[in-house]
Amino acid sequence: MENSTVPRFQKRTKPLAHLKAGKEQPGTDGVMPWDVSVELDLHQLEYKENKLVVEKEGYYYVYSKLCFNVDNDLFTHLVVMTTQPPVTQYSIELLHSQYYTNHPNATQNESLIQNSYLGGMFHFFKGDAVFVLVRNGTVQLESAANNYFGMFMV
């Protein structure tokens, strides 16, 4: 049998990033930190202050998955974009998921570990920054495979 080695990744021609959670919970601002102690899977995107910064204008698919416990009655998982000058800086919620634990059909066991996945396609300009926000929850950090964030140009 012939010994052939298949490369893990083909040559990257378009921007992409895939980040995994480390051991830190989101800060008081709610911004989710990502693990920088390992080699980051980045190509033509910059990772700066827990955000992915676009270097090449175009359409991107953005995704985020979190595994969490709800601290209050409501858990919120957001993907947010900020613009950079020369345009006036502002933030836009791109993707938004909420989980309610105090609804009429909730069961006692339903407040255990839950999952949230967000994904969508958006047009970004050079300098736009994309990041994940968490409110009212504790992200379960046992496995990096449970919590991730990324984007790629389509």
What pLDDT tens digit does each residue of the chain (154 aa) get? Answer: 455 555 555 667 899 999 999 889 998 999 999 998 877 789 999 999 999 999 999 999 999 999 988 767 788 999 999 987 766 678 899 999 998 876 555 555 455 678 999 999 999 999 999 999 999 888 888 887 899 999 999 9
Shortest CA distance to 141 belongs to which of 120, 113, 121? 113
Are 150 and 19 spatial neighbours (Cβ–Cβ below 8 Å)? yes
Are 147 and 69 spatial neighbours (Cβ–Cβ below 8 Å)? no
Rounded to two decimals, what is the model's pTM? Answer: 0.84
Are 45 and 98 spatial neighbours (Cβ–Cβ below 8 Å)? no
d(CA 105, CA 98): 16
